[in-house]
Chain A
Protein backbone atom coordinates (compact mmCIF):
# COMPACT_ATOMS: atom_id res chain seq x y z
CA UNK A 1 0.00 0.00 0.00
CA UNK A 2 2.88 2.33 0.77
CA UNK A 3 3.89 1.87 -2.89
CA UNK A 4 0.77 3.71 -3.85
CA UNK A 5 0.21 6.19 -1.07
CA UNK A 6 3.63 7.77 -0.62
CA UNK A 7 3.76 10.45 2.05
CA UNK A 8 4.39 13.13 -0.57
CA UNK A 9 1.16 12.18 -2.33
CA UNK A 10 -0.84 12.45 0.88
CA UNK A 11 0.81 15.80 1.47
CA UNK A 12 -0.36 17.13 -1.90
CA UNK A 13 -3.80 15.68 -1.21
CA UNK A 14 -4.09 17.33 2.18
CA UNK A 15 -2.49 20.61 1.15
CA UNK A 16 -3.11 20.97 -2.56
CA UNK A 17 -1.02 23.58 -4.38
CA UNK A 18 -2.64 26.01 -6.79
CA UNK A 19 -6.11 24.94 -5.84
CA UNK A 20 -7.82 28.20 -6.66
CA UNK A 21 -9.82 29.91 -9.37
CA UNK A 22 -8.10 31.92 -12.11
CA UNK A 23 -9.57 35.36 -12.79
CA UNK A 24 -9.40 35.51 -16.57
CA UNK A 25 -7.83 32.34 -17.93
CA UNK A 26 -6.49 32.08 -21.46
CA UNK A 27 -7.97 28.62 -21.61
CA UNK A 28 -9.48 25.98 -19.37
CA UNK A 29 -10.93 22.48 -19.53
CA UNK A 30 -12.99 20.08 -17.42
CA UNK A 31 -12.04 16.45 -17.05
CA UNK A 32 -13.84 13.62 -15.35
CA UNK A 33 -13.82 9.91 -14.78
CA UNK A 34 -17.54 9.25 -14.68
CA UNK A 35 -17.10 5.74 -13.37
CA UNK A 36 -15.28 6.77 -10.23
CA UNK A 37 -16.56 10.31 -9.91
CA UNK A 38 -13.16 12.05 -10.13
CA UNK A 39 -13.51 15.56 -11.49
CA UNK A 40 -10.92 18.25 -12.25
CA UNK A 41 -11.07 21.70 -13.84
CA UNK A 42 -7.80 23.23 -15.00
CA UNK A 43 -7.43 26.90 -15.99
CA UNK A 44 -4.23 28.53 -17.25
CA UNK A 45 -2.99 31.97 -18.19
CA UNK A 46 -0.58 31.90 -21.12
CA UNK A 47 1.59 34.91 -21.74
CA UNK A 48 3.47 34.62 -25.01
CA UNK A 49 4.55 31.00 -24.97
CA UNK A 50 4.83 30.81 -21.17
CA UNK A 51 2.26 29.56 -18.66
CA UNK A 52 2.28 32.28 -16.04
CA UNK A 53 -0.68 31.16 -13.95
CA UNK A 54 -2.45 27.86 -13.38
CA UNK A 55 -5.17 26.79 -11.00
CA UNK A 56 -7.35 23.77 -10.52
CA UNK A 57 -10.50 22.77 -8.74
CA UNK A 58 -12.25 19.47 -8.42
CA UNK A 59 -13.02 16.52 -6.26
CA UNK A 60 -12.01 12.93 -6.27
CA UNK A 61 -9.68 10.39 -4.77
CA UNK A 62 -6.33 11.27 -3.25
CA UNK A 63 -4.46 10.11 -6.35
CA UNK A 64 -6.44 12.29 -8.76
CA UNK A 65 -6.26 15.37 -6.57
CA UNK A 66 -2.60 14.98 -5.58
CA UNK A 67 -1.67 14.46 -9.21
CA UNK A 68 -3.54 17.65 -10.14
CA UNK A 69 -1.68 19.56 -7.45
CA UNK A 70 1.68 18.25 -8.64
CA UNK A 71 0.84 18.94 -12.25
CA UNK A 72 0.13 22.60 -11.52
CA UNK A 73 3.36 22.97 -9.59
CA UNK A 74 5.30 21.46 -12.41
CA UNK A 75 3.68 23.48 -15.16
CA UNK A 76 3.63 26.91 -13.60
CA UNK A 77 6.24 29.18 -15.17
CA UNK A 78 7.14 26.75 -17.92
CA UNK A 79 6.60 27.14 -21.65
CA UNK A 80 3.66 25.51 -23.36
CA UNK A 81 6.07 23.18 -25.16
CA UNK A 82 7.63 22.12 -21.86
CA UNK A 83 4.20 21.56 -20.36
CA UNK A 84 3.25 19.33 -23.27
CA UNK A 85 6.48 17.42 -22.88
CA UNK A 86 5.55 16.99 -19.21
CA UNK A 87 2.19 15.49 -20.17
CA UNK A 88 3.95 13.01 -22.45
CA UNK A 89 6.53 12.14 -19.84
CA UNK A 90 3.81 11.56 -17.28
CA UNK A 91 1.84 9.25 -19.60
CA UNK A 92 5.08 7.44 -20.30
CA UNK A 93 5.61 6.92 -16.57
CA UNK A 94 2.11 5.51 -16.20
CA UNK A 95 2.60 2.98 -18.99
CA UNK A 96 6.17 1.91 -18.26
CA UNK A 97 6.26 2.22 -14.50
CA UNK A 98 9.65 3.91 -14.58
CA UNK A 99 10.11 7.38 -13.13
CA UNK A 100 9.58 10.25 -15.51
CA UNK A 101 12.68 12.13 -14.40
CA UNK A 102 10.83 15.36 -15.00
CA UNK A 103 13.59 17.87 -14.64
CA UNK A 104 13.41 19.97 -11.53
CA UNK A 105 10.41 18.28 -10.01
CA UNK A 106 10.92 15.08 -8.04
CA UNK A 107 7.52 15.02 -6.32
CA UNK A 108 5.95 13.57 -9.44
CA UNK A 109 8.15 10.51 -9.25
CA UNK A 110 6.17 9.51 -6.17
CA UNK A 111 3.28 8.71 -8.49
CA UNK A 112 5.28 6.02 -10.27
CA UNK A 113 3.76 3.42 -7.93
CA UNK A 114 0.36 4.07 -9.47
CA UNK A 115 1.49 2.27 -12.63
CA UNK A 116 1.24 -0.98 -10.64
CA UNK A 117 -2.46 -0.35 -9.95
CA UNK A 118 -4.12 -0.35 -13.37
CA UNK A 119 -7.45 0.73 -11.89
CA UNK A 120 -5.87 3.91 -10.60
CA UNK A 121 -3.86 5.03 -13.64
CA UNK A 122 -6.80 6.97 -14.99
CA UNK A 123 -7.12 8.80 -11.67
CA UNK A 124 -3.51 9.96 -11.87
CA UNK A 125 -3.74 10.85 -15.55
CA UNK A 126 -6.88 12.95 -15.31
CA UNK A 127 -5.35 16.33 -14.49
CA UNK A 128 -2.62 15.92 -17.10
CA UNK A 129 -5.05 15.04 -19.85
CA UNK A 130 -7.23 17.93 -18.80
CA UNK A 131 -4.26 20.29 -19.01
CA UNK A 132 -3.50 19.00 -22.48
CA UNK A 133 -7.10 19.62 -23.47
CA UNK A 134 -6.98 23.15 -22.09
CA UNK A 135 -3.81 23.86 -24.05
CA UNK A 136 -5.44 22.48 -27.18
CA UNK A 137 -7.85 25.33 -26.60
CA UNK A 138 -10.43 24.70 -23.93
CA UNK A 139 -12.63 22.57 -26.10
CA UNK A 140 -14.58 19.47 -25.21
CA UNK A 141 -14.35 18.20 -21.64
CA UNK A 142 -11.87 15.38 -21.17
CA UNK A 143 -13.14 11.99 -20.18
CA UNK A 144 -10.16 9.77 -19.59
CA UNK A 145 -10.58 6.42 -21.24
CA UNK A 146 -12.13 3.92 -18.94
CA UNK A 147 -9.93 1.01 -17.96
CA UNK A 148 -11.30 -2.47 -18.21
CA UNK A 149 -11.63 -3.30 -14.53
CA UNK A 150 -13.92 -0.34 -14.03
CA UNK A 151 -16.03 -1.00 -17.07
CA UNK A 152 -17.95 -3.79 -15.44
CA UNK A 153 -21.65 -3.40 -15.17
CA UNK A 154 -21.85 -5.57 -12.11
CA UNK A 155 -24.01 -3.71 -9.77
Chain B
Protein backbone atom coordinates (compact mmCIF):
# COMPACT_ATOMS: atom_id res chain seq x y z
CA UNK B 1 0.00 0.00 0.00
CA UNK B 2 1.28 3.46 -0.77
CA UNK B 3 0.19 6.80 0.55
CA UNK B 4 0.13 9.79 -1.76
CA UNK B 5 2.25 12.63 -0.51
CA UNK B 6 0.15 15.76 -0.29
CA UNK B 7 3.02 18.17 -1.07
CA UNK B 8 4.78 16.35 -3.77
CA UNK B 9 3.40 14.88 -6.91
CA UNK B 10 5.30 12.08 -8.51
CA UNK B 11 6.84 10.51 -5.42
CA UNK B 12 4.97 7.51 -4.05
CA UNK B 13 5.14 7.52 -0.25
CA UNK B 14 5.54 4.23 1.58
CA UNK B 15 4.46 3.84 5.19
CA UNK B 16 7.34 3.68 7.67
CA UNK B 17 7.30 -0.07 8.26
CA UNK B 18 10.40 -0.91 10.29
CA UNK B 19 10.25 -4.68 9.71
CA UNK B 20 10.01 -4.21 5.96
CA UNK B 21 12.79 -1.62 5.99
CA UNK B 22 15.10 -3.97 7.85
CA UNK B 23 14.48 -6.70 5.29
CA UNK B 24 15.84 -4.34 2.63
CA UNK B 25 19.27 -4.27 4.30
CA UNK B 26 20.95 -7.67 3.83
CA UNK B 27 23.85 -6.84 6.16
CA UNK B 28 21.48 -6.52 9.12
CA UNK B 29 21.10 -10.31 8.98
CA UNK B 30 24.80 -10.74 9.52
CA UNK B 31 26.19 -12.37 12.61
CA UNK B 32 29.43 -11.06 14.10
CA UNK B 33 30.05 -14.46 15.69
CA UNK B 34 27.82 -17.54 15.68
CA UNK B 35 24.56 -16.54 17.34
CA UNK B 36 25.64 -12.90 17.78
CA UNK B 37 23.67 -10.69 15.37
CA UNK B 38 25.03 -7.37 14.22
CA UNK B 39 23.70 -4.28 15.99
CA UNK B 40 24.95 -1.52 13.74
CA UNK B 41 25.17 1.77 15.63
CA UNK B 42 27.91 3.53 13.66
CA UNK B 43 25.71 5.28 11.13
CA UNK B 44 27.31 8.69 11.55
CA UNK B 45 30.47 7.14 10.11
CA UNK B 46 28.69 5.44 7.22
CA UNK B 47 25.27 3.93 6.66
CA UNK B 48 24.39 0.46 5.43
CA UNK B 49 22.97 -0.01 1.93
CA UNK B 50 19.58 -1.40 0.90
CA UNK B 51 19.24 -4.07 -1.81
CA UNK B 52 17.76 -1.42 -4.09
CA UNK B 53 21.06 0.47 -4.14
CA UNK B 54 23.21 -2.63 -4.44
CA UNK B 55 21.02 -3.86 -7.30
CA UNK B 56 21.25 -0.54 -9.13
CA UNK B 57 25.02 -0.64 -8.97
CA UNK B 58 25.10 -4.15 -10.41
CA UNK B 59 22.47 -3.36 -13.02
CA UNK B 60 24.50 -0.44 -14.30
CA UNK B 61 27.64 -2.49 -14.77
CA UNK B 62 25.69 -5.43 -16.20
CA UNK B 63 23.41 -3.60 -18.62
CA UNK B 64 24.56 -0.06 -19.38
CA UNK B 65 28.22 0.50 -18.60
CA UNK B 66 29.95 3.01 -20.88
CA UNK B 67 31.72 6.31 -20.50
CA UNK B 68 29.43 9.32 -20.46
CA UNK B 69 29.19 12.45 -22.62
CA UNK B 70 31.51 10.92 -25.20
CA UNK B 71 29.95 8.48 -27.54
CA UNK B 72 27.05 8.34 -29.91
CA UNK B 73 26.58 4.67 -29.23
CA UNK B 74 23.60 3.41 -27.29
CA UNK B 75 25.37 2.46 -24.08
CA UNK B 76 27.08 5.83 -23.79
CA UNK B 77 23.78 7.59 -24.33
CA UNK B 78 22.09 5.41 -21.68
CA UNK B 79 24.90 5.94 -19.18
CA UNK B 80 24.76 9.68 -19.70
CA UNK B 81 21.01 9.70 -19.23
CA UNK B 82 21.19 7.65 -16.04
CA UNK B 83 23.98 9.84 -14.64
CA UNK B 84 22.06 13.03 -15.39
CA UNK B 85 18.86 11.54 -14.00
CA UNK B 86 20.70 10.91 -10.71
CA UNK B 87 21.76 14.55 -10.68
CA UNK B 88 18.14 15.61 -11.10
CA UNK B 89 17.09 13.38 -8.19
CA UNK B 90 19.69 14.97 -5.94
CA UNK B 91 18.56 18.45 -6.97
CA UNK B 92 14.94 17.65 -6.19
CA UNK B 93 15.89 16.07 -2.85
CA UNK B 94 17.42 19.30 -1.50
CA UNK B 95 15.08 21.57 -3.50
CA UNK B 96 17.88 23.09 -5.58
CA UNK B 97 16.53 25.64 -8.07
CA UNK B 98 18.57 24.15 -10.93
CA UNK B 99 19.72 20.61 -11.62
CA UNK B 100 23.01 21.94 -13.07
CA UNK B 101 23.86 23.35 -9.65
CA UNK B 102 24.56 19.80 -8.43
CA UNK B 103 28.23 18.84 -8.74
CA UNK B 104 29.33 15.27 -8.21
CA UNK B 105 32.47 15.00 -6.08
CA UNK B 106 33.97 12.14 -4.08
CA UNK B 107 32.67 13.13 -0.65
CA UNK B 108 31.89 16.02 1.69
CA UNK B 109 35.57 16.64 2.24
CA UNK B 110 36.18 17.17 -1.46
CA UNK B 111 33.12 19.40 -1.76
CA UNK B 112 34.36 21.64 1.06
CA UNK B 113 37.85 21.74 -0.42
CA UNK B 114 36.44 22.56 -3.84
CA UNK B 115 34.88 25.72 -2.44
CA UNK B 116 38.04 26.57 -0.49
CA UNK B 117 40.08 26.33 -3.69
CA UNK B 118 37.84 27.43 -6.49
CA UNK B 119 35.80 30.08 -4.67
CA UNK B 120 37.71 31.26 -1.60
CA UNK B 121 41.14 31.49 -3.23
CA UNK B 122 39.68 33.64 -5.95
CA UNK B 123 37.41 35.89 -3.94
CA UNK B 124 38.89 36.18 -0.42
CA UNK B 125 41.77 38.48 0.43
CA UNK B 126 44.09 39.11 3.33
CA UNK B 127 42.17 40.17 6.41
CA UNK B 128 38.83 38.75 5.22
CA UNK B 129 37.20 36.61 7.86
CA UNK B 130 35.94 33.05 7.55
CA UNK B 131 33.70 32.01 10.44
CA UNK B 132 33.34 28.35 11.42
CA UNK B 133 32.51 26.75 14.78
CA UNK B 134 34.15 24.76 17.51
CA UNK B 135 32.03 21.69 16.68
CA UNK B 136 33.14 21.28 13.06
CA UNK B 137 34.44 18.05 11.61
CA UNK B 138 38.14 18.36 10.69
CA UNK B 139 37.13 18.56 7.03
CA UNK B 140 35.53 21.95 7.70
CA UNK B 141 38.52 23.20 9.72
CA UNK B 142 41.67 22.13 7.92
CA UNK B 143 40.89 23.62 4.46
CA UNK B 144 40.37 27.01 6.13
CA UNK B 145 43.57 26.76 8.14
CA UNK B 146 45.38 25.99 4.88
CA UNK B 147 43.73 28.99 3.25
CA UNK B 148 44.67 31.16 6.22
CA UNK B 149 48.31 30.16 5.85
CA UNK B 150 48.28 30.64 2.08
CA UNK B 151 46.19 33.80 1.82
CA UNK B 152 46.25 35.53 5.19
CA UNK B 153 42.52 35.27 5.81
CA UNK B 154 41.37 35.30 9.44
CA UNK B 155 39.70 32.18 10.79
CA UNK B 156 37.19 32.66 13.61
CA UNK B 157 35.32 30.09 15.64
CA UNK B 158 31.85 30.27 17.16
CA UNK B 159 32.39 28.61 20.55
CA UNK B 160 30.46 25.67 21.96
CA UNK B 161 28.53 25.96 25.21
CA UNK B 162 28.90 23.21 27.83
CA UNK B 163 25.65 21.58 26.66
CA UNK B 164 27.08 21.07 23.17
CA UNK B 165 25.05 23.81 21.47
CA UNK B 166 26.69 26.85 19.88
CA UNK B 167 27.03 30.14 21.75
CA UNK B 168 24.68 32.28 19.66
CA UNK B 169 25.43 35.45 21.64
CA UNK B 170 29.09 35.03 20.81
CA UNK B 171 28.12 34.37 17.18
CA UNK B 172 26.38 37.75 17.05
CA UNK B 173 29.68 39.39 17.98
CA UNK B 174 31.90 37.23 15.79
CA UNK B 175 29.89 37.55 12.59
CA UNK B 176 30.56 41.10 11.45
CA UNK B 177 31.37 43.35 8.51
CA UNK B 178 34.63 41.53 7.80
CA UNK B 179 32.90 38.13 7.61
CA UNK B 180 33.03 36.97 4.00
CA UNK B 181 32.11 33.33 4.55
CA UNK B 182 30.22 31.40 7.20
CA UNK B 183 31.02 27.71 6.76
CA UNK B 184 29.11 25.72 9.30
CA UNK B 185 27.88 22.22 10.02
CA UNK B 186 24.13 21.69 10.25
CA UNK B 187 24.60 18.79 12.68
CA UNK B 188 27.62 17.80 14.76
CA UNK B 189 28.89 14.30 14.06
CA UNK B 190 30.50 14.16 17.50
CA UNK B 191 27.58 15.32 19.65
CA UNK B 192 24.54 15.22 17.40
CA UNK B 193 23.81 18.89 18.07
CA UNK B 194 21.45 20.37 15.49
CA UNK B 195 22.86 23.81 14.73
CA UNK B 196 20.52 26.83 14.76
CA UNK B 197 20.93 27.73 11.09
CA UNK B 198 17.74 29.79 11.31
CA UNK B 199 19.68 32.16 13.58
CA UNK B 200 23.17 31.98 12.09
CA UNK B 201 22.35 32.23 8.38
CA UNK B 202 20.48 35.56 8.69
CA UNK B 203 23.35 36.96 10.79
CA UNK B 204 25.81 36.16 8.01
CA UNK B 205 23.47 37.28 5.24
CA UNK B 206 22.96 40.63 6.97
CA UNK B 207 26.72 41.16 6.57
CA UNK B 208 26.64 40.15 2.92
CA UNK B 209 28.61 36.97 3.62
CA UNK B 210 28.39 33.74 1.65
CA UNK B 211 27.08 30.76 3.63
CA UNK B 212 28.25 27.20 3.14
CA UNK B 213 26.67 24.37 5.11
CA UNK B 214 28.36 21.06 5.86
CA UNK B 215 25.37 18.78 5.46
CA UNK B 216 27.23 15.48 5.91
CA UNK B 217 25.09 14.67 8.95
CA UNK B 218 21.96 16.71 8.27
CA UNK B 219 21.07 15.74 4.69
CA UNK B 220 20.91 12.00 5.53
CA UNK B 221 18.71 12.52 8.57
CA UNK B 222 16.62 15.70 8.31
CA UNK B 223 14.52 17.32 5.60
CA UNK B 224 16.84 19.87 3.95
CA UNK B 225 15.68 22.61 1.60
CA UNK B 226 18.48 24.88 0.37
CA UNK B 227 16.07 27.60 -0.71
CA UNK B 228 14.23 27.71 2.60
CA UNK B 229 17.59 27.77 4.42
CA UNK B 230 18.70 30.66 2.19
CA UNK B 231 22.26 29.29 1.91
CA UNK B 232 24.80 29.42 -0.93
CA UNK B 233 26.69 26.12 -0.79
CA UNK B 234 25.85 22.69 0.64
CA UNK B 235 28.22 19.73 0.93
CA UNK B 236 27.27 16.12 1.72
CA UNK B 237 28.26 12.47 1.14
CA UNK B 238 26.25 9.66 -0.44
CA UNK B 239 27.77 6.98 1.77
CA UNK B 240 26.13 8.35 4.91
CA UNK B 241 22.67 8.21 3.31
CA UNK B 242 22.29 4.67 1.96
CA UNK B 243 24.42 5.40 -1.10
CA UNK B 244 27.80 4.02 -2.15
CA UNK B 245 31.18 5.34 -1.08
CA UNK B 246 33.04 7.55 -3.52
CA UNK B 247 30.22 9.99 -4.29
CA UNK B 248 29.74 13.37 -2.70
CA UNK B 249 27.70 16.41 -3.61
CA UNK B 250 28.45 20.06 -3.80
CA UNK B 251 25.43 22.23 -4.42
CA UNK B 252 26.03 25.91 -5.05
CA UNK B 253 24.06 28.85 -6.37
CA UNK B 254 24.58 29.13 -10.11
CA UNK B 255 25.86 32.71 -9.95
CA UNK B 256 28.61 31.67 -7.55
CA UNK B 257 29.51 28.51 -9.44
CA UNK B 258 29.63 30.46 -12.71
CA UNK B 259 32.04 33.00 -11.30
CA UNK B 260 34.42 30.35 -9.96
CA UNK B 261 37.42 28.95 -11.79
CA UNK B 262 37.71 25.20 -12.26
CA UNK B 263 39.09 23.05 -9.46
CA UNK B 264 40.87 20.43 -11.57
CA UNK B 265 41.85 20.70 -15.22
CA UNK B 266 41.50 17.97 -17.84
CA UNK B 267 38.95 16.19 -19.92
CA UNK B 268 35.22 16.81 -19.70
CA UNK B 269 35.64 20.24 -18.12
CA UNK B 270 36.67 22.19 -21.21
CA UNK B 271 34.87 23.81 -24.08
CA UNK B 272 37.88 24.22 -26.33
CA UNK B 273 41.58 23.56 -25.95
CA UNK B 274 44.35 24.86 -28.15
CA UNK B 275 48.05 24.92 -27.41
CA UNK B 276 47.82 28.38 -25.86
CA UNK B 277 44.78 28.18 -23.68
CA UNK B 278 41.46 26.54 -23.00
CA UNK B 279 37.97 27.72 -22.27
CA UNK B 280 35.82 26.17 -19.63
CA UNK B 281 32.74 24.10 -20.02
CA UNK B 282 29.57 25.24 -18.29
CA UNK B 283 28.67 24.27 -14.74
CA UNK B 284 28.52 21.48 -13.63
CA UNK B 285 30.93 19.98 -16.21
CA UNK B 286 33.46 22.70 -15.33
CA UNK B 287 33.89 21.04 -11.93
CA UNK B 288 33.75 17.42 -13.04
CA UNK B 289 37.12 16.94 -14.74
CA UNK B 290 37.88 13.44 -15.95
CA UNK B 291 35.64 10.39 -16.05
CA UNK B 292 33.36 10.74 -13.04
CA UNK B 293 32.20 8.01 -10.70
CA UNK B 294 29.29 7.18 -12.98
CA UNK B 295 28.13 3.92 -11.41
CA UNK B 296 28.11 5.19 -7.85
CA UNK B 297 26.32 8.40 -8.83
CA UNK B 298 23.59 6.33 -10.44
CA UNK B 299 23.35 4.02 -7.43
CA UNK B 300 23.12 7.13 -5.25
CA UNK B 301 20.04 8.02 -7.26
CA UNK B 302 18.49 4.76 -6.05
CA UNK B 303 19.35 5.70 -2.45
CA UNK B 304 17.55 8.99 -2.90
CA UNK B 305 14.53 7.19 -4.33
CA UNK B 306 14.52 5.02 -1.21
CA UNK B 307 14.62 7.99 1.16
CA UNK B 308 12.07 9.88 -0.92
CA UNK B 309 9.64 7.01 -0.78
CA UNK B 310 9.76 7.02 3.02
CA UNK B 311 9.86 10.80 3.27
CA UNK B 312 12.51 12.62 5.26
CA UNK B 313 9.93 13.78 7.81
CA UNK B 314 9.21 10.15 8.64
CA UNK B 315 12.92 9.30 8.76
CA UNK B 316 13.53 12.18 11.16
CA UNK B 317 10.56 11.24 13.31
CA UNK B 318 11.74 7.64 13.63
CA UNK B 319 15.25 8.75 14.57
CA UNK B 320 13.91 11.30 17.02
CA UNK B 321 11.95 8.56 18.76
CA UNK B 322 14.94 6.19 18.88
CA UNK B 323 17.19 8.96 20.15
CA UNK B 324 14.74 10.00 22.80
CA UNK B 325 14.43 6.39 23.93
CA UNK B 326 18.21 5.92 23.91
CA UNK B 327 18.87 9.11 25.86
CA UNK B 328 16.57 7.90 28.61
CA UNK B 329 17.77 4.30 28.48
CA UNK B 330 21.49 5.17 28.59
CA UNK B 331 21.02 7.74 31.34
CA UNK B 332 19.78 4.82 33.47
CA UNK B 333 22.94 2.76 32.98
CA UNK B 334 25.17 3.22 36.04
CA UNK B 335 28.35 5.14 35.23
CA UNK B 336 27.21 6.50 31.86
CA UNK B 337 27.43 10.24 31.22
CA UNK B 338 26.07 11.63 27.99
CA UNK B 339 27.58 14.62 26.18
CA UNK B 340 25.56 17.15 24.24
CA UNK B 341 21.95 18.31 24.45
CA UNK B 342 19.63 15.98 26.37
CA UNK B 343 16.57 17.00 24.37
CA UNK B 344 16.00 14.76 21.32
CA UNK B 345 14.46 17.74 19.51
CA UNK B 346 17.85 19.47 19.59
CA UNK B 347 19.94 16.57 18.38
CA UNK B 348 20.11 14.09 15.58
CA UNK B 349 20.51 10.37 16.19
CA UNK B 350 24.02 10.64 17.61
CA UNK B 351 24.88 9.99 21.27
CA UNK B 352 28.42 10.48 22.54
CA UNK B 353 29.01 9.19 26.04
CA UNK B 354 31.57 8.01 28.52
CA UNK B 355 31.45 5.16 30.98
CA UNK B 356 33.09 5.81 34.30
CA UNK B 357 36.42 4.07 34.72
CA UNK B 358 36.48 2.50 31.26
CA UNK B 359 38.32 3.95 28.29
CA UNK B 360 36.19 4.27 25.12
CA UNK B 361 38.45 1.79 23.30
CA UNK B 362 37.75 -0.85 25.85
CA UNK B 363 34.02 -0.14 25.64
CA UNK B 364 34.09 -0.49 21.86
CA UNK B 365 36.07 -3.70 22.01
CA UNK B 366 33.78 -5.42 24.51
CA UNK B 367 30.66 -4.21 22.69
CA UNK B 368 32.02 -5.72 19.48
CA UNK B 369 32.00 -9.16 21.09
CA UNK B 370 28.25 -8.60 21.67
CA UNK B 371 27.82 -7.65 18.01
CA UNK B 372 27.29 -3.99 18.88
CA UNK B 373 29.23 -1.71 16.51
CA UNK B 374 29.91 1.77 17.86
CA UNK B 375 32.62 4.31 17.16
CA UNK B 376 35.25 5.29 19.69
CA UNK B 377 37.84 8.03 19.46
CA UNK B 378 37.80 11.72 18.69
CA UNK B 379 35.37 11.45 15.73
CA UNK B 380 37.51 13.86 13.66
CA UNK B 381 36.39 16.65 15.95
CA UNK B 382 39.34 17.21 18.26
CA UNK B 383 38.28 20.74 19.22
CA UNK B 384 35.08 19.22 20.68
CA UNK B 385 37.11 16.72 22.70
CA UNK B 386 39.28 19.57 24.00
CA UNK B 387 36.22 21.57 25.00
CA UNK B 388 34.74 18.55 26.80
CA UNK B 389 38.15 17.86 28.31
CA UNK B 390 38.11 14.18 27.31
CA UNK B 391 40.62 12.36 25.12
CA UNK B 392 37.91 10.44 23.31
CA UNK B 393 34.29 9.37 23.60
CA UNK B 394 32.19 6.36 22.70
CA UNK B 395 29.47 7.16 20.18
CA UNK B 396 26.32 5.36 19.15
CA UNK B 397 24.56 6.72 16.07
CA UNK B 398 21.24 5.63 14.58
CA UNK B 399 19.52 5.43 11.24
CA UNK B 400 16.15 4.56 9.84
CA UNK B 401 16.58 0.81 10.38
CA UNK B 402 17.54 0.89 14.08
CA UNK B 403 15.13 -0.40 16.70
CA UNK B 404 14.50 0.15 20.40
CA UNK B 405 15.52 -3.51 20.89
CA UNK B 406 18.95 -2.58 19.59
CA UNK B 407 19.12 0.31 22.05
CA UNK B 408 18.27 -2.18 24.82
CA UNK B 409 21.13 -4.41 23.64
CA UNK B 410 23.49 -1.45 23.76
CA UNK B 411 22.40 -0.60 27.30
CA UNK B 412 22.68 -4.21 28.49
CA UNK B 413 26.12 -4.59 26.90
CA UNK B 414 27.33 -1.42 28.61
CA UNK B 415 26.34 -2.91 31.94
CA UNK B 416 28.45 -5.96 31.10
CA UNK B 417 31.37 -3.69 30.27
CA UNK B 418 31.15 -2.12 33.71
CA UNK B 419 30.98 -5.52 35.33
CA UNK B 420 33.98 -6.71 33.33
CA UNK B 421 36.19 -3.75 34.08
CA UNK B 422 34.72 -3.20 37.53
CA UNK B 423 37.35 -2.03 39.95
CA UNK B 424 39.17 -0.18 37.20
CA UNK B 425 40.30 3.31 37.86
Chain A residues at the B interface, C-beta cutoff of 8 Å: 1, 4-5, 10, 13-14, 34-39, 59-63, 117, 120, 123, 150, 152-155
B-side contacts of A37, CB under 8 Å: 359-360, 377-378, 385, 390-392
A-side contacts of B381, CB under 8 Å: 155
Q: Is B323 an interface residue (CB 8 A)?
A: no
| B365–A117 touching, CB < 8 Å | yes
B-side contacts of A1, CB under 8 Å: 365-366, 369
A–B Cβ pairs within 8 angstroms, 25 of them: A1-B365, A5-B362, A5-B365, A5-B420, A10-B421, A34-B382, A36-B361, A36-B376, A37-B385, A37-B391, A38-B361, A39-B391, A60-B361, A62-B359, A120-B361, A120-B365, A154-B44, A154-B45, A154-B46, A155-B44, A155-B138, A155-B139, A155-B189, A155-B216, A155-B379
Q: Is B10 an interface residue (CB 8 A)?
A: no
A-side contacts of B359, CB under 8 Å: 37-38, 59-62
Given the complex of chains A and B, what is the CA–CA distance between A61 and B364 in angstroms? 11
B-side contacts of A61, CB under 8 Å: 359-362
Look across to chain A and name the residue whose beta carbon is closest to the beta carbon of B382: A34
Given the complex of chains A and B, what is the CA–CA distance between A153 and B109 in angstroms? 9
Best-surrounded residue of B138, B381, B390, B425 (most CB of chain A within 10 A): B425
| B377–A35 touching, CB < 8 Å | yes
Q: Is B6 an interface residue (CB 8 A)?
A: no
Given the complex of chains A and B, what is the CA–CA distance between A155 and B366 in angstroms? 21
| B378–A35 touching, CB < 8 Å | yes
Given contacts A35-B378, A154-B45, A155-B216, contact A123 B366 (CB under 8 A): no
Q: Encode contact with A along B401-425: 1 for CB under 8 Å, 0 otherwise.
A: 0000000000000000000110111
| B425–A60 touching, CB < 8 Å | no
| A62–B421 touching, CB < 8 Å | yes
Given the complex of chains A and B, what is the CA–CA distance between A93 and B215 in angstroms? 44
Given the complex of chains A and B, what is the CA–CA distance between A47 and B341 in angstroms? 54
Least CB distance, B417 to chain A, in whole angstroms: 11
Look across to chain B and name the residue whose beta carbon is closest to the beta carbon of A32: B391
Of A10, A59, A153, which contacts B380 at CB under 8 A? A153
Given contacts A120-B361, A123-B361, A155-B45, contact A14 B425 (CB under 8 A): yes
Least CB distance, B319 to chain A, in whole angstroms: 17
Least CB distance, B141 to chain A, in whole angstroms: 12
A-side contacts of B115, CB under 8 Å: none
Given the complex of chains A and B, what is the CA–CA distance between A75 and B109 in angstroms? 45
Interface size class of B (residues with CB under 8 A): 35 or more
Least CB distance, B206 to chain A, in whole angstroms: 30
Q: Is B175 an interface residue (CB 8 A)?
A: no
B-side contacts of A35, CB under 8 Å: 377-378
Q: Is B222 an interface residue (CB 8 A)?
A: no
| A59–B189 touching, CB < 8 Å | no
Of B190, B358, B420, B425, which contacts A155 at CB under 8 A? B190
Least CB distance, A14 to chain B, in whole angstroms: 5
| A62–B362 touching, CB < 8 Å | yes
Q: Is B318 an interface residue (CB 8 A)?
A: no
**Interface residue ranges of B21-79 to A (CB < 8 Å):** 44-46
Best-surrounded residue of B109, B361, B377 (most CB of chain A within 10 A): B361
A-side contacts of B376, CB under 8 Å: 36
Given contacts A36-B361, A61-B362, contact A153 B139 (CB under 8 A): yes
Q: Is B137 an interface residue (CB 8 A)?
A: yes
| A13–B424 touching, CB < 8 Å | yes
| A155–B380 touching, CB < 8 Å | yes
A-side contacts of B46, CB under 8 Å: 154
Supplied contacts A5-B366, A123-B361, A150-B377, 13 more A-B pairs, CB within 8 Å: A1-B369, A4-B365, A10-B424, A13-B421, A35-B377, A38-B361, A120-B365, A154-B375, A155-B45, A155-B138, A155-B190, A155-B217, A155-B380
Least CB distance, B30 to chain A, in whole angstroms: 18
Given contacts A10-B421, A14-B424, contact A153 B138 (CB under 8 A): yes
A-side contacts of B360, CB under 8 Å: 36-37, 61
A-side contacts of B362, CB under 8 Å: 5, 61-63
Least CB distance, B108 to chain A, in whole angstroms: 9
| A14–B423 touching, CB < 8 Å | yes
Given the complex of chains A and B, what is the CA–CA distance between A63 and B358 in angstroms? 11
Q: What are the 8 tightest A-B residue pairs by CB atom distance, in nearest-first order?
A: A37-B391, A155-B189, A61-B361, A37-B392, A154-B45, A61-B359, A1-B369, A155-B380
